[in-house]
Amino acid sequence: MTHSIELEIGGMTCASCATRVEKKLNKLDGVEATVNYATEKARVTAPDGVDAELLIAEVEKTGYTAKLRPAAYPAAGAPREAATRTAGDATAPSSHATAEDPELVALRQRLIGSIWLSVPVIAMAMIPALQFNYWQWLSLTLTAPVIVWAAWPFHKATWVNLKHGSVTMDTLVSVGTGSAFLWSLYALFFGHAGEPGMTHGFDFSMQHSDGAGNIYLEVAAGVTMFLLAGRYFEKRSKRQAGAALRALLELGAKDVA
């Protein structure tokens, strides 16, 4: 005999994450799992000897979180009053739709912070008229919080995935922005990019250079800002779509006359 279990998966940031979780679950004997990245849900068909705790433990081994999906409706045999709603109740916003998602709130805070810090860095790098003496050190001061704080979700996901021997899009973001920031530190402290009067123009030259006079702080800050924006709007859209779907399900019939 088999039974079906639905899990809510947390921590997935791209489709490859869903594929990893799905492969991990399907390695269990008799288990058939399908993981949907868009809905962050896993639908599992498992033999009676496999319980939800075992499935959750397997998901956590891949570096993600999992929990049983709350029942959409009361179980069979529950009082009729708990299983039915009035028309007014059906149209009322559910707790899922009105409750603030802590992850979404954190993403919004990081996005707003990165915008305020990154825009001046990009402007100074792209507009030579704004490059006053020691402007590069102001750029470093503004970029450091973006890389350390705003980009923390990318770094955290990279570390978790590396511990499990895998790489994702977060790895590319973390390595790319980190490399741009670290090279800029080298150029500022050990090269000649930190000298007064240093400018960052748009000269295209094929001449060989050691690169010690170039900084890429606007790359580190700008990439982080734009990717945070994409992740925030993606998560908000998924949340709104899920709320709309739940509202439609709640309007459906709960009992058969």
The pLDDT of 167-174, averaged and rounded, is: 90
The residues, ordered by sequence, that sit 6+ positions from 12 with a Cβ below 8 Å of its Cβ are 18, 21, 37, 40, 64
Average of per-residue pLDDT values in the chain: 83
Which among 238, 211, 218 is positioned nearest to 41, based on CA atoms?
238
pLDDT of residue 207 exceeding 50, the answer is yes
pLDDT of residue 182 exceeding 90, the answer is yes
The residue with greater pLDDT, 225 or 211, is: 225
Which among 187, 182, 189 is positioned nearest to 211, based on CA atoms?
187
> Are 171 and 162 within 8 A, CB to CB?
yes
In the structure encoding, which two tokens stand for residue 221, read together? 């800050």
- Binned at pLDDT 50, 70 and 90, residue 194 comes out as confident
Q: How many CA atoms lie within 13 A of 151 on its CB side?
A: 30
The residues, ordered by sequence, that sit 6+ positions from 207 with a Cβ below 8 Å of its Cβ are none
% residues pLDDT > 70 (the chain)? 81
> Are 42 and 21 within 8 A, CB to CB?
yes
The residue with greater pLDDT, 5 or 213, is: 5
Give the CATH class of 2-70.
Answer: alpha beta
Give the global pTM.
0.76
> Are 131 and 124 within 8 A, CB to CB?
yes
Distance separating alpha carbons of residues 58 and 104, to the nearest angstrom: 26
Which among 97, 86, 92 is positioned nearest to 245, based on CA atoms?
97
pLDDT of residue 185 exceeding 60, the answer is yes
Locate the domains of the chain by residue range: 2-70, 102-239
pLDDT of residue 106 exceeding 60, the answer is yes
pLDDT tens-digit series, residues 17-72:
888 899 989 998 888 999 988 888 899 998 888 888 889 998 888 888 888 877 54
The pLDDT of 82-87, averaged and rounded, is: 41
The pLDDT of 185-211, averaged and rounded, is: 78
